[in-house]
A and B are shown apart, each in its own frame.
Chain A
């Protein structure tokens, strides 16, 4: 469903992605682990087209999308959430989700109908709001809701496009254990045919939801396999030092 071949990216002298080869099957849940600065976010940026790789290629559902724009890839069903909230701050939670749904449904450029009153859009917003537990804050402006709610909205916007492939960049970063468990449930409730790639620091969550695990270190894939194998890997223990024991 999503595949990279020999993906390489350098910023000047800094080599951030080294020869990364990933292959996700349809419906696969893969977690990307790796220390700070390993190049995880930079990998996502290349997958969605926000930055161009120095070399290598990216394939979405069998099609080479390496040269396609961000918007073109999104229209093919690729959606992401950001590590740092990237919301429509001046709008309400409802409007944020509605806008995302409207664009994905191809109703974001018409001149006649109001997509925010479109039944299909409303249906999508309701569904996503229930999924990411935003029901109570729906009509509040983004500026007025807590960080945790914004974090849920961040994922909600990505989901509102009803993607085929969903990339989530540390969805639980900065939220408490309660909300973290909420995300956990969310992941379990996602449609089974949705392909998911998650960058995650929370080991419990990682091992629990992952079908497969990829570990990046200095831009390189140092592990690619099943969660059980990852748990017992000496190399990973070394990379993660003490934090591994807590998992």
Chain B
């Protein structure tokens, strides 16, 4: 069961302080990198929520992020909604799509679940790629950023935009952590461990999965909205299944089922990409080797390994110890 161990809180605090300090003092390029990390972190957070705590390993989270991006762009440009309303609409719509996918895939498990989500991902990709309605191959440009001048913020300023994304990441984390500590989240973890028993206790399994997948999808949708705002241009590449694959790599690199680990994973992944690609175009191979090393070490990712070394119990934190301990 999810719990904020001391190590997790310390890690979160270090990450937050690091991000704020770096964001405050770095130059243009640094801000780009930080924004990239924040958006990837939101995506992998949403994936860890269902994969790490619900056993629902998804290969459609990239497509869900893409759905959020396209929905935002189209609601804002084609329907002329204000960017703020378009954001809310895009996140809600992505959540609804994800809930539907979750409900449909709820009966399948393991590899079949992965394949079913991949199928949805491919459907989304081909729809966007083939249809002129979505700009086809060319994608959509002139995606707006919200106007926050009312509170004295200009999101066209790179630093402000970076902090906008960091704030969204903080919100996404709080939502994910809240879900995991709610009845829904507890039940989802139970489902991962023993679905049959949970049914016998009176839980309607598909409904829990659909709601959890929907919330996770909404968070992925938020990542998509921010990705669209960042480049102000979107292309079908955003919907490609490789985006989902990459997100899964980051979750595993960081530590599946730890919620904090994937944040560390996103940080490492983006840093590696920038550092290694400066030396060699084969940075994918380097990341691949690191991933193999992490998986072979049988540790639960980089963060999971640290947790283990500091002998905090397992991937799901220490057992919950409510007040009844000495009863």
* A residues adjacent to B (C-beta < 8 A): 48, 50, 69-72, 74-75, 79-80, 82, 86-92, 94-95, 98-100, 102-104, 107-117, 122, 125-126, 135, 138-141, 157, 161
Contact = CB atoms under 8 A, between A and B. Distances in A.
A88 B193 contact: yes
Nearest to B319: A92
B256 to A, nearest CB: 13
> Chain B interface: which size bin?
35 or more
A95 B201 contact: no
Contact of A94 (B186, B314, B320): B320
Given A90-B193, A103-B187, A104-B202, A116 B320 contact: yes
B281 interface: no
Contact of A109 (B187, B193, B201): B187
B207 to A, nearest CB: 7
Contact of B203 (A86, A103, A138): A103
Interface in B178-194: 178-179, 181-184, 186-187, 189-190, 192-194
B193 A48 contact: no
Contacts of A115: 182-183, 186
Nearest to A161: B201
B321 to A, nearest CB: 6
Interface of B: 1, 178-179, 181-184, 186-187, 189-190, 192-194, 196-205, 207-208, 211, 313-314, 316, 319-325, 327
Scoring A71, A92, A98, A104 by chain B CB atoms within 10 A of each residue's CB, the highest score goes to: A71
Contacts, number: 135
A45 to B, nearest CB: 10
Contacts of B183: 102, 107-111, 113-115
B83 to A, nearest CB: 27
B319 A74 contact: no
A102 B186 contact: yes
B319 A104 contact: no
B323 A116 contact: no
Contacts of A100: 201
A103 B187 CA distance: 8
Contacts of B325: 138-139
Contacts of A103: 187, 198, 201-203
Given A109-B207, A111-B182, A104 B201 contact: yes
B320 A95 contact: yes
